Amino acid sequence: MPAKVAGTSLKKFTKQCVGFFDKIDHTLNKPVKHQISNILEGPLRPPKIITSHLLSEAPFLHLSRHASRSNLIVYLYRDETDRLFSSIKQVLSRNICHLRCGVDHHAINNNGTHCIVNEDNFVVKALFNKFKEIGWGNTEIMTCNFYKSIEENLPNMVFIHYKQVDKLMKVLAKHNCPHLLNKNFNLNFGSEKKQIFLRVKNNVTVPVEDWLDGKGHLLEWAMGLTREGYCQAKTRNMEDRLFSCRDQILQVRG
């Protein structure tokens, strides 16, 4: 799954459900020899659930090629524009406003309730560099190779809209850790009380929500997110079928 699709909530659930999690977090992004070490050289009964963000297409290609019929691959999906907006807010609030992005500290005014960031510094340092969650999106994963691997290997796989993650966790809990059935794992980092503003031309400050509302429709084009080899038509076709399902769950079929 890409960043900003409720993955942190699902990883917290996985840790409490099956344990043995710290060593396998992000394990799908590591070299194969590390996966073997962490999984096969671990406990006699490895965890039945592995939850990981994906940072590129490579981990999925390896997984879809080698997964057995008994393995179920669940890909949490979120519309890329919506995902990008959420990632921008998180990078601003959790990184830039805490001086973790290389933005000149003179370009940031931060107090207990507000954080104001110069627009030009944010655009250059974070957006164009696709800093952290901003760049960890579907466009890095759902490439033409991604779809080719699905067609060639036909893995046991479903796409699930990220807003259905609570239902997913309940199903997983029912079969693996029933003591967690009534526990809430919804972690919303976007709910922080501090307000984020961008300082635009003429020294005017606007809330980040207004900035996204005004310029958001141009961001993917300006950033060149839809890179060559993305196969956007196939993603849009999958998205249409996913959103047409009442439960927003789409099974991969041949």
Task: Record the pTM.
Answer: 0.87
User: Can you give the three-state secondary structure of 71-94, one letter per residue?
Assistant: CCEEEEECCHHHHHHHHHHHHHHH
Phi, psi of 109 (to 5 degrees): -115, 115
**DSSP-assigned letters across all residues of 87-139:** HHHHHHHHTGGGT-S---GGGEEE-SSEEEEEHHHHIIIIITTTTGGGTSSGG
Cα maximum dimension of the chain: 64
Q: What is the pLDDT of residue 229?
A: 72
Q: How far apart are the first and last CA of the chain?
A: 22
The β-bridge relationship of strands 195-199 and 157-161 is: unpaired
Please give the pLDDT value at position 94.
85
Confidence at residue 74, expressed as pLDDT on a 0 to 100 scale: 97
Per-residue pLDDT of the chain (254 residues; tens, 9 = 90+): 899 999 889 988 998 998 765 555 566 777 666 666 667 777 777 788 988 899 899 999 999 999 999 999 999 999 999 999 999 999 998 888 887 666 666 667 777 788 899 998 888 778 888 888 999 999 999 999 999 999 999 999 999 999 999 999 999 999 999 999 988 887 665 555 679 999 998 889 999 999 999 999 999 988 887 777 788 999 999 999 999 999 999 999 86
Residue with tokens 């394990």: 27
Residue 143, phi then psi, degrees to nearest 5:
-85, 180
Q: Which residues pair with 74 in a beta bridge?
A: 158
Q: Contact, 122 vs 96, CB < 8 A? A: yes
pLDDT at 191: 52
Residue type, 216: G
Among candidates 86, 68, 89, which has minimal Cα distance to 2?
86
pLDDT of residue 169: 95
> 58 by DSSP, 3-state: which?
helix
**Contact in structure between 88 and 134 (CB atoms under 8 Å):** yes
C-alpha closest to that of 47 among 13, 79, 80, 2: 13
